[in-house]
Amino acid sequence: MASADNNIYFIITANPPSPNSHINAGQICFIGKQRFDLWQKRNDRNMPVVCMGTPFDVYLNEVLLQQLKPRSAELLLALESNEMRLLALKDPEALKEASNLSEGSQVYVEYNGQWLKGVIRYGLSTSSYMSDPIRGVFFGVELQGEDKEKGQNDGSYLHQTYFTCPKNSGIFAPFTRIKPVDHKPSAPLLPTQSSLSMTSTEPLKVGDRVTFLSDINDHHGMIMDIKDSPDGKMVLISTDRDKEGKQGGEMLVPLDFVIKEEPLNKDETEKMDTSQGSEMGGVTDFDEITVGSLVQILGKELAYGIVRWVGSLPDCLETIAGLELENSSAGVTDGTYKGKRYFNCPPRCGLFVKLSSCRPDDRFSGAKEQHFNGHSDHNGAIVYEEQENVPPIRTEDVSKRLIGKKKGIQGHCNSCYMDSALFSVFSCSSVLDSMLFKSTEHETIQNILLKNIVNPLRKQGFVSERSVMNLRKQLQNREHCPTYTTDEKDPEEFLSLIMQEILSLDPPLKLCSHSGSRQKVQSCYYYQIFMDHNHHLVLPTVQQLLEHSFYSNSLKLAEVPACLILTMPRSGKSFKMFPKIIPSTELDITGLLADGPQQCVLCGQLANEECAECFRDTVFSDTGFKYFCEKCSTQVHSHQQRRCHKPRRLLLPQGFSYSQSSGSDRRTPPREKLELFAVLCIETSHYVSFVKYGPQDTDWIFFDSMADRVGEIDGYNIPEVRACPEVGQYLHMPLSQLANQVPREMKGVAKRLFCDGYMYLYQSRTMSLYR
């Protein structure tokens, strides 16, 4: 268990926006001091913290966090609810006094509505999660004098004795029920005691116009009734718009969340308070979001708009942004809040949200700053300026720009095949970028792909499901296929459609098939590996599978491809031919080329013969077509088992010659190799991807467009990109050791790569310069 001295503690002061909406204000969290120092150097607003009771990191904006001393964190952690912690935080003097209490301190303790006199005998620590670095601290108090035997125990708690005292003279209590004797006792702080000063200066009554504040929206309406409940007073409001956006709904909300709207006279209504907004417009919690910025907010669905005002609102601790939304059905105001105007916009087009909930609009990202300097057309639609193009994410920028939750491409409605394919091809590689700029009659689809998906992915690390759905709709219209926006497809089918039929990209793969003495060249966009049943492979590499498939189908490469997309042998999406496949990080295609110098597999010199029958001979290595120089071929085929073989004479490449003395050119032929840059995997019809983003063995990331979900029917998916350096460790493990690995015991997500590999993407950095 980590020492409390090695951590920095915080309390979350407001409910975080999505994707951390499952976290509540009042929770205690922490970060290691060394990690905190590294975070400060990165100048990042989102801090990686761990909430008490959980083992996982979450990234929270620093404005949501208030730092605590370790002792204060322990005292607050003992309180029963998040609401009680937030209420106790409003009395810093009481927290400070409690931090100075120790064994022997004379105190008053609240019990059954009475303040009883006693002395502290013990500080009891409790925890609900064993890995928490600190525990909630209760005080064990022994009652004194005339208050003896007015307590609840004898110093024992849950059958364990912490101190001894007479029967019913001991009490365990949190610090909110403890006061030093020199502090005048007052009523205990209870969450049921409402503070109307936070909401209204006078009592609310039936018929009052009010505003109800939710996480990011405010709702307006009239009070129909005020009721008592076990949780305190509740207000029944007839709203102008209910939670589902319907007119005239009713909502039952806590009294503390209701604000009375004061009536305005005509002069006040027309007066617009812009001084505070303009003052804050240039400096916000997020430097890239200011007045005029194009933003999006993610709730049940994405909403887009323009920041019209940035500043502070009454009773709101966080910085607030006033938005004019594109979709009027998503708004609730015309720029007024609690009767005060902060900006102008049409009715029900305005929305006040936390600035931390806003993100730059990913539909129009590029190298230019996202400010609205454009105009509206005659229909009121926003016209945007042209955006610059963005190169693939550099190795050194992947950690900051791409890794984390709500990163990558957001999945929606069976889109994982498309999300994974687009992320694999475009996030960190430019090998297929030519199709983004090639002249085409389908400019709409090309622009959506470039400006709404590829550029935002590379610049901000996030693409909303709306952008991908827009692409799916365009493809559906183009193909007249009614299921393109609803059903799952194969990633190779999608990539072929985009490259071949939509953007007319030249096929990157050219194959030679041998039929007798005739040689036929065929072009394709990907290669499906087919295996005959006459093979001995148990734990194959991609290199072996490709060679066996080429051998079985009498195929060779006509030229070195800039990009090679391979799909693995399968029978449907559920049946896998091999339980594991080892990704070949380098694919040596020298022996697969139809034309070019080949190397003798025995001596390494220039080969002049190829023997197809030797390919399956177990005497030789498990990889590579079998090429021999004249001398080695004679020796090999002198064996009685190989005398029936019929080696094929190779054509001598230009610039090479055979030596009469040695039978071969002594120069070593060059090797042609492709590098693996991405792998798509499938398990139970769900696609994910791995991307090799840098030169180091551990430079691997894992992407899942539907890693998490908020809500059910009306919810949304949360994509995630995570570093997976463990993949490199397994890839360099000896084959015998790797074969003994139990999949479910493999570290991290490595099991997905080795057991679920479906599509492997290779590139030639040299050839891609010419394509």
Catalytic residue among 358, 416, 611, 681: 416
Return contacts of 483-489, CB within 8 angstroms, 24+ apart: 485/413, 486/413, 486/414, 487/414, 488/414, 488/416, 488/417, 488/685, 489/417, 489/418
In this structure, what token pair is assigned to residue 35?
Answer: 């990690």
Q: Tell me which amino acid residue 729 is.
A: Q
- What is the Cα–Cα distance from 256 to 113, expressed in whole angstroms? 24
Collapse the DSSP code of 484 into the 3-class scheme (helix H, G, I; strand E, B; otherwise coil) and give the result. Answer: coil
What string of DSSP letters covers 625-642? --EE-HHHHHHHTTSTTT
Q: Which residues pair with 701 in a beta bridge?
A: 691, 723
Q: Tell me which amino acid residue 57 is.
A: D
| Contact (CB, 8 A) for 402 and 461 | yes
Is 755 considered catalytic here?
A: no
| Contact (CB, 8 A) for 554 and 513 | yes
Collapse the DSSP code of 758 into the 3-class scheme (helix H, G, I; strand E, B; otherwise coil) and give the result. Answer: strand
Collapse the DSSP code of 330 into the 3-class scheme (helix H, G, I; strand E, B; otherwise coil) and give the result. Answer: helix
- What is the Cα–Cα distance from 238 to 243, expressed in whole angstroms? 12
- What is the Cα–Cα distance from 756 to 683, expressed in whole angstroms? 6
Which is it for strands 178-180 and 106-111: parallel, antiparallel or unpaired? antiparallel
In this structure, what token pair is assigned to residue 293?
Answer: 């910025």
| Contact (CB, 8 A) for 561 and 674 | yes
Collapse the DSSP code of 148 into the 3-class scheme (helix H, G, I; strand E, B; otherwise coil) and give the result. Answer: coil
Nearest to 455 by CA among 400, 390, 395: 390
- What is the Cα–Cα distance from 541 to 735, expressed in whole angstroms? 10
In this structure, what token pair is assigned to residue 139?
Answer: 């005080």
| Contact (CB, 8 A) for 545 and 637 | no
Q: How many residues does the chain have?
A: 771
* Secondary structure element (H or E) that encloses residue 277, with its range: helix 275-281
- What is the Cα–Cα distance from 354 to 311, expressed in whole angstroms? 10
How far is residue 188 from each of residues 112, 125, 174, 181, 329, measured CA to CA in Å? 11, 22, 11, 15, 45
Nearest to 119 by CA among 181, 174, 167: 181
Count of helix runs (H) and strand runs (E) in the chain: 19, 45
| Contact (CB, 8 A) for 417 and 409 | no
- What is the Cα–Cα distance from 622 to 626, expressed in whole angstroms? 10
How far is residue 491 from each of residues 407, 408, 414, 526, 759, measured CA to CA in Å? 20, 17, 12, 11, 8
Nearest to 463 by CA among 201, 717, 151, 138: 717
Let me know the angle formed at the C-alpha of 469 by 465 and 475, rounded to the nearest 5 degrees: 150
- What is the Cα–Cα distance from 165 to 153, expressed in whole angstroms? 8
Is 416 considered catalytic here?
A: yes
Which residues are within 8 A (CB) of 202 and not within 5 positions of it... i.e. 6 or more apart?
Answer: 260
| Contact (CB, 8 A) for 309 and 277 | yes
What string of DSSP letters covers 208-221? -EEEEE-SS-EEEE
Collapse the DSSP code of 455 into the 3-class scheme (helix H, G, I; strand E, B; otherwise coil) and give the result. Answer: helix
Q: Is 428 exposed, middle or buried (0-12, 13-18, 19+ CB in 10 A)?
A: buried
Cis peptide before 314 (omega within 30 of 0): no
Residues taking part in catalysis: 416, 686
